[in-house]
Amino acid sequence: MNSNIILIGMPGSGKSTVGVVLARAGAMSFLDSDRLIERVEGKELFEISDEVGLQGFRDVENRVNASIEAENTVIATGGSVIYGPEAMEHLRAIGRVVYLQLSYPTIEARLGDLHARGVSIAPGQTLLDLYNERCPLYEKYAHITVACDQLRPREVAAEILSRVGREAPGLYR
């Protein structure tokens, strides 16, 4: 198995924040797959979604994530990556997939404007609907699940490094 660590979870679960801390702590590179999608497509996430619709966006996300080539990298994915079976199969093959699990009240408190955040949500769907739909998918694809409700980003990073059996030269307790 490749030496990558792939972070999945709901929007607002801290994938990008924890990812940067984790990469620094583990002496790894960092890749935000949402930023990669924007670079590849030459547009912001909401522009892509507005142009091609929800399913079109998920198709783009699936294609871009399924093509990631990385070594010794922490990859923070978009919350909807789990809708792309090819992407998830690829990500599981190139590293350890870690689900940053948070309770619904915590997610709800952290999220502001879903559209501005580029959250992939169907018309009429509530955040709770989305949470209930996605959590089983995160659990299905994760090699490791970390309950993050009571943890700070550094603690989450330390837990992940411990669970994947990596040293943490950049994390001082």
- Cα 29 to Cα 76: distance, rounded to the nearest angstrom: 11
pLDDT the model gives residue 165: 85
pLDDT the model gives residue 61: 96
pLDDT the model gives residue 111: 85
pLDDT the model gives residue 123: 82
What contacts 99, CB < 8 A, 6 or more positions away? 8, 9, 138, 139, 141, 142, 144, 145, 146
Task: State which residues of the chain have pLDDT below 70.
Answer: 1, 113, 115-118, 168-173
pLDDT the model gives residue 38: 96
pLDDT the model gives residue 117: 67
- Domain boundaries defined on the chain: 4-163
Q: What does 14-25 look like in DSSP terms, one character per residue?
A: -HHHHHHHHHHH
- Cα 122 to Cα 46: distance, rounded to the nearest angstrom: 13
| Topology of domain 4-163, CATH | Rossmann fold (3.40.50)
